[in-house]
Structure 1
Amino acid sequence: MESHETDYLIVGAGAVGLAFADTLLDEAPDCHITLVDKHAAPGGHWNDAYSFVTLHQPSATYGVNSMELCPDRVDTHGHNAGMYPLARHSEILAYYSRLMHDRLIPSGRVAYHPLTEYVGGEGQAHKARHILSGEEMRFTVRRKLVDATWFQTSVPSTHKPAFDIAEGTRFAVPGDLPGLWKHAGDLPSHYVVIGGGKTAMDTAVWLLEAGVSPDAIDWVRPRDSWMFNRKLLQPAKHAIRDLVRFQIDLAECAASSETGDEMFAKLGERGTMLRIDPDVTPSMFHYAVISEGEVDLLRTITRVHRGKRVTALEPDALVFGDERVELPANTLFVDCTARAVDMSAGERVTPIFAGDRITLQTIQTPMIPYSAALAAFLETNFETDAERNALCPPAPLTDTTATYPYVVMANLMSTAILSGNAKTNAWNAKSRLHPTGPAIAAMMARNDPQLMELGKVGPKIRSLMPGVIKLGMAAKALHEAS
């Protein structure tokens, strides 16, 4: 059995584990770090994602603190035209490969074990297993185990459908679609996209942009969703006013509403939130970010099965319980029902810092890499778990319009806590993963005249907090009762 020693054993080398390791490397220059991961390459679930996936938000605040992800330029074509880049699947994997092989491992303080499954352990003694050989490894962990798998990310290629599939049915996941050119003599005559989340939206947009007629697409959407408007979430150094407007919109609409649905309706009127069908009130919110151009494309699909869940697929039919919907022969069903983040993870909330274990969770939802990097900073710059946990109560993961106000409240309270601490406030000012910190620091350095206007934002939001808290606490009760 192999034996290794390390200071921090990080389970998971995806977006979460790598953001933590990257910051830890800089903040704790005397420590050794070991990462174990089931995948054959760094990047976690991105290794399993469909090839045409991109980030939903601009790349400026994704990845790790030490490396930029995409060039600082504006896209000139496509549905993201006029906005800053969304890293593509291949770019994200290349980014994490560079991080691992050009920065982490060459530091001499990081060991990486791919195709390795963590088995368990406690105290300083932990075990892992090589997946291909079955050989076990023993780790002596001098400081802490870091669990970077709490989110239990799921993608279509690793997801098991919750419905029956009859023999002879043409069935695919999104990652199969780019390979359809290999079947030029037997292409589908019709497509059914199953799912209401961002994966389904990405898939529908891909089909439309590939030339498939909207009339040749059926779309099963059990629930409609609200989405963030991407044009308001551009990099702060280029669009600080839009980001400030976004934050004020959230606070104002929360403070003036009695329910989450009322809050979303007001945000929709302002263009802060988008929905596909203006005549349908969405009940789902999974933090997806979308452009107005994508929404316009998706609205061309009119064969929508709303409020229904698939129980079975047949070669030429959709089955919803007792209802059977006939479809053209040679229909291809595309399963987009995997949920990127398991929302039930919220039921497993635990203090992030607990003795010899760190469980990485969201500190501000949905800023996952930022939350992981912040946890590494807290680990190395504060003495006790009590101090650390006071600065980073786990933020809730909600998935409905009724419960999202709880997140708005929690995020604003977290911002107040972190900005009120000199150490975390200074770190936010230099963290590329923070949405506004570096941009505001640069404005302060050059005494930008916009600072006078920005100085009014804090007092404005503080004045709205009683209303935000009232709605947020009501949403919290709904979340905890669900």
Structure 2
Amino acid sequence: MDELDVDYVIVGAGAAGMAFADTLLTETDASLAIVDRRAKPGGHWNDAYPFVRLHGPSLVYGAESRALGSEAIEAVGINRGLLEQASGTEVLAYYDQLMRQRFLPSGRVTWLPLTDYADGIAASRITGARTRLCARRKLVDATYADTRLPVTDPPSFDIAPGVRCIPPHALPGVREAPDGFGILGAGKTAMDSVVWLLEQGVARDRITWIRPRDPWLLPRENLQPSFDFFIPTVGAMAGELEAARDAASIEDLFGRLEAAGLLARILRTVTPAMYRCAIVSAPELELLRSVKDVVRLGHVRAIEAGRIVLDGGSVPTSPSRVHVNCTADGIPRRPPQPIFQGERILLQHVRRCSPCLSAAFVAHLEAAIAGEAEKNAMCRPVPAPDEPLDWLRMQLEDFANRRAWSQSPELQAWLANSRLDRFSGIIARAVREPTPERLAILQRYREAAGPALTRIAELMAGAQAGAALEPA
């Protein structure tokens, strides 16, 4: 068996693994082996549906060393007027170029595609060749938050013979117009599928949407990390804190966030039971609201020839309808673990809903700080959200990290100059280029931060105490 000695073995060439590797290349002289079961870098983007776009601006996605897109404004389409969002094809091309034009020419990266990794052994899926990988410094696991997609994860429900049930990526391949479409799921993939169908001219009354839980959504207009959008973007950050500071209860908190335009829901008459950082623009939300045939009977248990069986009942269907399976878990919620674990680094988010920045920041800590305890103190994991209460949990963990980072001028400077953390950058620029309106927003943010975090912790403690009293 061949043996390869490198400083770091990175398992996973998705967004997190590539961002981590890129920062290590910049800030150290380390050698790297990157292992992935797919043929090309980019992780789940290799399996994405054709009409997918980045859910956030291209400006803050990818790796530190290479921009993905620019501050260009979308001139056409449903999100015109907002910062551009790369298509899935553009994201894959970006990672391919990053590997071919930066990583491999460095002479410090060994790329092992189509390769499985277990217990120190890399096994080629093509030749079966096995190579022992020896990490002189550390093994980096970039798969802990691996994305689950309908095309790669089989449905968890039974499908009768003759039923047409497809993943979203097969929608553009539908050749004969069906009697209607059934969208199964309530997450961002389901929302993208609904919007795409409506944009193709499918009548809204030909869409049945099975939503087990309605989601709280983040308005895209508030998440524009460009200095030109400083007022709405940083104003929204201040508004979140003010809503938390003044909330009398968790219900009141979400009411305040919605009233201030900081969270949205598809139907105002239905209380959301899900929060997963999904982002929508006002025009997208209008399209989602136009679908009236919505089924709220829980999760799909089976699709039979004439009905869809759900937790709480059933609804009619037929073999002439196309059912679109959007029920994969996306980013599974896993228990947080220490990121630095001796000879192992377990990549997790350290900023809410920010996989690329999180991985790059962890790599910077690895390069800049020697002590493991100090590094872990700087990066408490921020777990993937699932329920509305996670909005509060993420705020607490996110601010705990920000507070720790604020004690280090070096980390503050790194963040302010980070391509992936434009929020810190535009705040730093506002301090350098003050106007009364910018200063007023920054003052609101500073004044609300402490009381808001105290109140969020109180609300969380109350919710947890109430849950402990509930019967099992």
Q: TM-score, normalised by structure 2?
A: 0.95
Name whichever of 317-326 and 225-234 sits farther off: 317-326
Corresponding position: 1:332 with 2:322? yes
Query: 1:172: how far off?
Result: 0.5
Query: 1:147: how far off?
Result: 0.4
Structure 1 residues 444 and 246, CA gap change in structure 2 (3 angstroms):
closer
Question: Helix, strand or coil for the counterpart of 1:158?
Answer: coil
1:139 to 115, 125, 133: 133
**Aligned residues of 1:408 and 1:472 also touching (Cα < 8 A):** no
1:302 to 292, 296, 299: 292
Consecutive unaligned residues in structure 2, runs of 5 or more: none
Query: 1:276: how far off?
Result: 0.8
Question: Helix, strand or coil for the counterpart of 1:403?
Answer: helix
Matches of residues 236-275 of structure 1 in structure 2 within 5 Å?
236-275=226-265
Match in the other structure for 1:6: 6
Question: What is the identity, as a one-letter code, of the residue corresponding to 2:162?
Answer: G
Structure 1 residues 473 and 105, CA gap change in structure 2 (3 angstroms):
farther
Question: Hey, what's the Cα distance between the residues in 1 that align with 2:463 and 2:61?
Answer: 28
Match in the other structure for 1:218: 208
Query: 1:445: how far off?
Result: 5.0
Name whichever of 355-364 and 72-81 sits farther off: 72-81
Match in the other structure for 1:59: 58
Question: Helix, strand or coil for the counterpart of 1:265?
Answer: helix
**Aligned residues of 1:170 and 1:315 also touching (Cα < 8 A):** no
Query: 1:464: how far off?
Result: 3.0
Q: CA RMSD in A?
A: 2.0
Query: 1:258: how far off?
Result: 4.5
Query: 1:443: how far off?
Result: 4.2
Name whichever of 151-160 and 194-203 sits farther off: 151-160
Name whichever of 6-15 and 78-87 sits farther off: 78-87
**Aligned residues of 1:260 and 1:405 also touching (Cα < 8 A):** no
Name whichever of 106-115 and 312-321 sits farther off: 312-321
- Deviations along 1:455-481, whole A, 9 cap, x unmatched? 413233224332132124445668999
Match in the other structure for 2:30: 31
Question: Helix, strand or coil for the counterpart of 1:423?
Answer: helix
Match in the other structure for 1:21: 21
Query: 1:224: how far off?
Result: 0.2
- Deviations along 1:46-66, whole A, 9 cap, x unmatched? 101111111111111111111
Question: What is the identity, as a one-letter code, of the residue corresponding to 1:365?
Answer: R
**Aligned residues of 1:370 and 1:433 also touching (Cα < 8 A):** yes
Matches of residues 103-252 of structure 1 in structure 2 within 5 Å?
103-120=102-119, 126-180=120-174, 183=175, 186-252=176-242
**Aligned residues of 1:46 and 1:93 also touching (Cα < 8 A):** yes
- Deviations along 1:65-106, whole A, 9 cap, x unmatched? 111111321112222011111111101101111111111111
Question: Hey, what's the Cα distance between the residues in 2 that align with 1:190 and 1:196?
Answer: 18
Match in the other structure for 1:400: 387
Match in the other structure for 1:358: 345
Question: Hey, what's the Cα distance between the residues in 2 that align with 1:476 and 1:101?
Answer: 49
Question: What is the identity, as a one-letter code, of the residue corresponding to 1:282?
Answer: P
Question: Helix, strand or coil for the counterpart of 1:157?
Answer: coil
Match in the other structure for 2:372: 385
Question: Helix, strand or coil for the counterpart of 1:218?
Answer: strand
Match in the other structure for 1:123: none
Structure 1 residues 476 and 73, CA gap change in structure 2 (3 angstroms):
farther
**Aligned residues of 1:49 and 1:156 also touching (Cα < 8 A):** no
Query: 1:212: how far off?
Result: 0.7
Question: Hey, what's the Cα distance between the residues in 2 that align with 1:151 and 1:238?
Answer: 33
Question: Helix, strand or coil for the counterpart of 1:226?
Answer: strand
**Aligned residues of 2:150 and 2:327 also touching (Cα < 8 A):** yes
Question: Helix, strand or coil for the counterpart of 2:455?
Answer: helix
Corresponding position: 1:464 with 2:445? no
Question: Helix, strand or coil for the counterpart of 2:24?
Answer: helix
Structure 1 residues 111 and 259, CA gap change in structure 2 (3 angstroms):
farther
Question: Helix, strand or coil for the counterpart of 1:311?
Answer: strand
Structure 1 residues 119 and 394, CA gap change in structure 2 (3 angstroms):
same
Question: What is the identity, as a one-letter code, of the residue corresponding to 2:20?
Answer: F
Question: What is the identity, as a one-letter code, of the residue corresponding to 1:129?
Answer: A
Match in the other structure for 2:425: 438
Aligned residues: 469
Question: Hey, what's the Cα distance between the residues in 1 that align with 2:39 and 2:465?
Answer: 42
Question: Hey, what's the Cα distance between the residues in 2 that align with 1:322 and 1:227?
Answer: 25
Structure 1 residues 195 and 429, CA gap change in structure 2 (3 angstroms):
same
Query: 1:444: how far off?
Result: 4.7
Query: 1:270: how far off?
Result: 1.1
2:414 to 427, 448, 457: 427
Structure 1 residues 136 and 317, CA gap change in structure 2 (3 angstroms):
same
Name whichever of 2-11 and 394-403 sits farther off: 394-403
Structure 1 residues 432 and 163, CA gap change in structure 2 (3 angstroms):
same
Name whichever of 190-199 and 50-59 sits farther off: 50-59
Structure 1 residues 465 and 327, CA gap change in structure 2 (3 angstroms):
closer
Question: Helix, strand or coil for the counterpart of 1:34?
Answer: strand
Match in the other structure for 2:99: 100
**Aligned residues of 1:51 and 1:175 also touching (Cα < 8 A):** yes
Question: Helix, strand or coil for the counterpart of 2:300?
Answer: coil
Query: 1:204: how far off?
Result: 0.6
Structure 1 residues 271 and 444, CA gap change in structure 2 (3 angstroms):
closer
Name whichever of 139-148 and 232-241 sits farther off: 232-241
Match in the other structure for 2:44: 45
Question: Helix, strand or coil for the counterpart of 1:38?
Answer: coil
Question: Hey, what's the Cα distance between the residues in 2 that align with 1:35 and 1:421?
Answer: 31
Consecutive unaligned residues in structure 1, runs of 5 or more: 121-125
**Aligned residues of 1:171 and 1:334 also touching (Cα < 8 A):** yes
Question: Helix, strand or coil for the counterpart of 1:299?
Answer: helix
Query: 1:440: how far off?
Result: 3.2
**Aligned residues of 1:8 and 1:145 also touching (Cα < 8 A):** yes
Query: 1:397: how far off?
Result: 2.8
**Aligned residues of 1:261 and 1:402 also touching (Cα < 8 A):** no
